Structure 1
């Protein structure tokens, strides 16, 4: 993915303090080369799944309990606004290190694309979110943010939270990574921001809270996450149409990542079998299907997972 010539976004909050470099990313960034809002991140689900497998406990029990601690069992957006984070330093603007430059460049590309696509397709002005880079732990409007949660979008403060160690996990656990695969992760979280601007997240949150069972709430979560996958594809389609920055190899890496982070793949890796009713992000096949739907269409309306 040819990202080096992208402009850089100033909408980056760097809370990494003095630890602004991540040498483990060097193999993917520099040279031309999917968890979701209000729910546990992929890292947390994997860890809890492994603990449950080792102790002989149903991982659904551990995951459900963790989600309740995090945000009432349905959505972290219900957490009361957190106190300001105690950070060593916070800088707003374009980071100087390589991984920060990459994130800033991809964020700028999402801004440039969605500032045109959202008004053209839905008649809504795009208001770009801030993206927070942090190491280990920080605070968000939705509560605490930890690296084990994976990247997520908080609709309370309209910010994306990213510990870039997740990119290292993608290299070692989720299909090998690559620049466009990393961009897909960022674009997925921006997809949740698009859902927020469309007025959907509040309604989905209410529906999850009023669901008759955890299985019904999980099903709503899956549709939300698959729509964000599709919106990431819509972004990529329009970015390619205008800037010609993506090649087939990039798409293959993103598809491989979408497959690797499907709930069925993660659960089978953790416990040897999958429990579809407990899915919160969608199966590998579903994630690939909806990413490719957005990639092919470039249209927001093609991403209506709630109509399926």
Structure 2
């Protein structure tokens, strides 16, 4: 089997950028860039030290992460300026922007103007996404710079900063490299997640039905049994699978297992004791 040439695995060249504003499902192609596009990811750690070890760290604790994508866009249409410059307001109808205006009172929150930013290396090829970078909530903090010079072009400077999307699972809230997976359902924040029944018994060869429910910050609840991933810690003792809106566990052999439901970063567990016939 051919493993491919090393040169095939090396990415060079420019990238296509798209930006999907919050509340929209249609990505905006941002056009050509000047000077390329750069991604910087910076994790910040706090080092734990002691008198005995001096400055040698005993451990390091992650206290923050930052992702930043910088580029300059050559397509300076009014539509693009109003799309990527958060302080710009647009005038005109749905089909055409006639002007963009500036000047607002302090207090604008960039997180309310963030969207999904995708960087696709052109050298990766059409349809190949394993090298794509997707920042889930990105907003542009750069100043606007329009050149009025003979040998210079108008550009839209962009410094896209990523903000955490806490509707996504833990460990997948800032950005990813590779295929995009949308976790925007549900759009309300979950504050409680639990399994019923709690710590039940079942006999070998018999079944028992589990459900899991979520409570949202507004107090409403929803049955999440079909959407959750169900796991048995010991399938030799009990198996579990979703059927007709229930998570059905089957006793296989005597013993105790942990039944767990996982849902976009939330987990809930209970024990199941399997008794002899």
Which TM-score band (shorter chain)?
under 0.3
Higher relative contact order (CA 8 A, sep 6+): 1
Q: TM-score, normalised by structure 1?
A: 0.21
Q: TM-score, normalised by structure 2?
A: 0.23
Q: Give the number of the structure whose residues are more often helix, by fraction.
A: 1
Computing the radius of gyration from Cα coordinates, the structure with the larger value is 2
Q: Give the number of the structure whose residues are more often strand, by fraction.
A: 2
